Structure 1
Amino acid sequence: MISIRSVFFVESGDTVTFEIQSGSHSATAYKEGTSTASVNRIPEGAEPFNSEILSEQGATYEHTFETTGTYDYFCIPHKTLGMVGRIVVGEPGGPAEGSMPPDGDVPESQTIVDQGSVSYSEFTE
């Protein structure tokens, strides 16, 4: 299980389960037309994901990542506060690579690959 507010590395074909620990959050891909996203920051051909807002503690959302590359995502109610994340699937690449999401900062993709995951508190302090 992954906190909604994390950055992490997975292999192609892995299914990720996002879990609400507290509050109301979402895990929503930066794919133009998905919720409030106005830019594409997932690999070309990748399936966008959107948990919608989850509010119940322990609520989960699953997504299987098939396409290799870098995926940036955000929390719908907290995007303007900089609550964004990054997932690297297999290896860095795609439109998110080499730049930061429009609503906040995340670790570089290679850092995520090297460390496996970086908690939200580690990259926002």
Structure 2
Amino acid sequence: MRRRRVLTALGTAFATVGAGCTAVGSLGGVDGDVGMTAVAFEPATITVAVGDEVVWYNNSARAHSITAYEDGIPADAAYFATGGYDSEAAAREAWDGMNGAITNGQRYAHTFEVPGTYNYFCIPHERGGMVGTVVVEE
């Protein structure tokens, strides 16, 4: 948990230095772990311990999704996606700009119970490179 707070603080410091960047690490006074810019997750990679909850928050004006790549998560891990979809195909099929979207000021959380690497993306901004990784350590 302490590692995430340090990473969040560093991310906030670096984001604040960049011209025109929105600081990551908080949204209206509410802490989170991963923020969203127009086309990026900030930070793109986060490392947590088994049993930790990761909170994504949308501090962008755009609607986003958090959608796991089915072949990018450990075999025995629970699938995760905004909208509660149980597969990547279902999330992609349902996406219409609202289904599975989180908009400005909204949050999404997932608890990681299985160690390994989890790769995920934002459906509407995947082509622009909006992908992320959660590394879960024991």
Does the pair score TM above 0.5? Answer: yes
User: TM-score, with normalisation over the residues of structure 1?
Assistant: 0.62
Matches within 5 A, 1:54-73: 54-55=102-103, 57-73=104-120
Matches within 5 A, 1:32-111: 40-51=71-82, 52-55=100-103, 57-90=104-137
Aligned residues: 82
Q: Which residue of 2 aligns with 1:100?
A: none
Identity rate, percent: 44
**Higher helix fraction (1 or 2):** 2
Alignment check: 8 A CA contact 1:17 1:63 kept:
yes
User: TM-score, with normalisation over the residues of structure 2?
Assistant: 0.57
1:54 counterpart letter in structure 2: I
Q: RMSD value over aligned CA atoms?
A: 1.2
Equivalents in 2 of 1:21, 1:59: separation in Å? 8
Q: Which runs of 4+ in 1 moved over 3 A?
A: none
Larger Rg: 2
Greater relative contact order structure (CA < 8 Å, 6+ sep)? 1
Runs of 5+ unmatched residues, structure 2 = 1-31, 83-99
